[in-house]
Amino acid sequence: MAKSHSRKGKPGKPTDASDDADRTVILPGADADPTLAPTSAESAATTPAGDSASAVPATAETGAGTPPARVERKELVGSLRSKEQQRARDKARGKPKAAVAAESAAGGVLEWFKSVGAAILLFFVIRTFLITAYSIPSESMEKTLLVGDYLMANNALFGATLPFTDIKLPALRDPHRGEIVVFRPTYNEPQIDVVKRVIGVPGDTLQMANGVLFRNGKRANEPYAHYDQGFDENIELEGFGLVDPNIIPERYGAKNHLPLLLPSVDKQRYRPSRNNWGPLVVPAEHYWLMGDNRDQSLDSRYMGPIPREVIRGKPLFIYYSYDKKDLGAAFPSFITAARWGRIGDRIR
């Protein structure tokens, strides 16, 4: 007699029918939910014979065909209903496409505003703490700086000013003699940024005789000084005469010299001119500023010493320059009239 073998049964012991049922694998049809298909012997035993096409039984040991187990129709219908209900719940939890699109558009606008805000903040940080652009509108600094020169200036060196305020941050140092500085004088209305050179610092004694500058009793070396007129000009005591219409008359005139003159000077007979004035002492927290073009500059000779608090920056280099007087330049004039050789020049 042949012996039958099985993983559950012992050698020589026939395999029980219930063992075969336990090892039956139920494969559901294409439209059934595999997670709900019966796999136990109990569900296989209760499957109607008419639904044998919905399941493909096979023995785990030999793969020989056995009567197929039927998947109960109510379980199949329940599986389909369960899927429909799940889709309905997912749809209920989700949002309409229009709402999703609106949210996406709102998110894009928010990101755009964030980017623009960051750019504006970066601009103010750079403009406040690092560098600022200035232009030269007059001839007061020729030949060092020309009308139409555009400068980059260091704001942090002399103490940056917070935007839209008069609050100054701590400075790295004070201006030195001979440096070119940008300042915003109080004698202009409206106030504008002006570029001049530092001639005297607090405590210096200054005097000019026949166009020659003396500092603390010694002749100053001024290779940058430029004179383009052959005559002198009186500085009126009060703000009279041909002056810039933007100048406040009350702040203009030789009266600004009087509190600074040495005791040896007779104030009653003091009559200064553009090339002859002093001797006077620069007061504390003030600087004596003058243009390099000595015959074309409204500066401390007319306005008196400049307060330290209005000095804003130190020009570094020329980043662009073009000749505004070249009216015959071909279009576009900002290219054809550009002074390419000056671009990038350091300012000394």
- The 10 Å CB-count burial string (b at 16+, else e) for 46-59 is ebeeebeebbebbe
Q: What are phi and psi of 61, to 5 degrees?
A: -90, -55
Closest alpha carbon to 280 in 299, 298, 267: 267
Give the Cα separation of 229 and 148 in Å (integer). Answer: 22
Give the tens place of pLDDT for each residue, 308-328. Answer: 999 999 999 999 999 988 888
Cβ proximity of 298 and 247 under 8 Å: yes
Strands 212-215 and 286-290: unpaired
Q: What is the pTM of this model?
A: 0.65
From 196, 297, 300, 321, active-site residue: 196
Mean pLDDT of the chain: 77
Give the tens place of pLDDT for each residue, 122-150. Answer: 666 665 556 778 889 889 999 999 999 99
Cβ proximity of 187 and 303 under 8 Å: yes
Give the tens place of pLDDT for each residue, 188-239. Answer: 777 788 999 999 999 999 999 999 999 999 999 999 999 988 889 999 888 7
From 43, 54, 79, 140, active-site residue: 140
302: confidence class by pLDDT, cuts 50, 70, 90: very high
Closest alpha carbon to 274 in 319, 243, 306: 243
Give the tens place of pLDDT for each residue, 204-214. Answer: 999 999 999 99
Cβ proximity of 142 and 293 under 8 Å: yes
| Residue 140 annotated as catalytic | yes
Q: Which two tokens stand for residue 347?
A: 């300012």
SS3 198: strand
Above 90 in pLDDT, residue 185? no
